[in-house]
Amino acid sequence: MIPKDIFVVDGFYSNPEQVRSFALRADYTNFGDEQNFPGAESEKSFFSSNHKETFEKLIGKPIITKPDEYVFGKFRYSTKEDFAHTKVHLDHGVEWTGIIYLTKDEDCRGGLGIYRHKKTGLNKAPELYELETYHCTDICEFDGKYVYPDSKKEDAWEKIYEIPLKFNRLILFQGSKYFHGITEQFGNSINDARLTQNFFFQEKLR
């Protein structure tokens, strides 16, 4: 059973075919070998107040979104040939990660993997008070020493959960907490590849 702070919501959109059609027509930028995610990202963000309200209800806390600083509502697609510098990773600078899958069910392959790092034995990022154990002063240093060097080494990780892709499924989780990654890339074009809408946000301090 997946942890309680990983939320899976099927049937997220009432009009998923329209959203998918919109995503297929969007303008995209491909950053080549410079990015940490495979494939291309839409040039514009697409969201409404309903996204924010739904996420707040799910996690039970108010949130802060800053689309100019971190992605909130952009589409991404990746084919089987696309490259990324990382596979298993942590999301920096944000607490929560939301992914809505817009790939048709007949094309879906793989899913979202959650991993344990074999060398450290950790299945989530260390808390601030634990960083000293790993001779690190912050999570970025921990990532640079332990996660990034092993990111694409399959034998460095044990997959403990895999949440399959499904059309119109939302997965909402703490991307800054869980070591996670795409388990399989597939498809030859945006039409049959992994197509998602991505959201990153913080909890609002009270």
Supply the CATH number for residue 93's domain.
2.60.120
Does 189 fall in a domain? yes
Confidence of residue 124 (pLDDT cuts 50, 70, 90): very high
How many domains, the chain?
1
Does 1 fall in a domain? no
Write out the residue range of the structural domain in which residue 169 sits: 7-203
User: 111: which strand partners?
Assistant: 164
Say if residues 168 and 16 touch (Cβ distance below 8 Å): yes
Q: How far apart are CA 197 and CA 71, in angstroms?
A: 10
- Comparison of pLDDT for 171 and 82, the residue scoring more: 171
Does 2 fall in a domain? no
Say if residues 117 and 164 touch (Cβ distance below 8 Å): no
Does 123 fall in a domain? yes
User: 29: which strand partners?
Assistant: 41
Does 151 fall in a domain? yes
Does 43 fall in a domain? yes
Q: How far apart are CA 8 and CA 98, in angstroms?
A: 10
Does 89 fall in a domain? yes
The pLDDT assigned to 206 comes to 63
The pLDDT assigned to 9 comes to 98
Q: Is the pLDDT of residue 97 over 90?
A: yes
Does 130 fall in a domain? yes
Q: Model's pTM, two decimal places?
A: 0.95
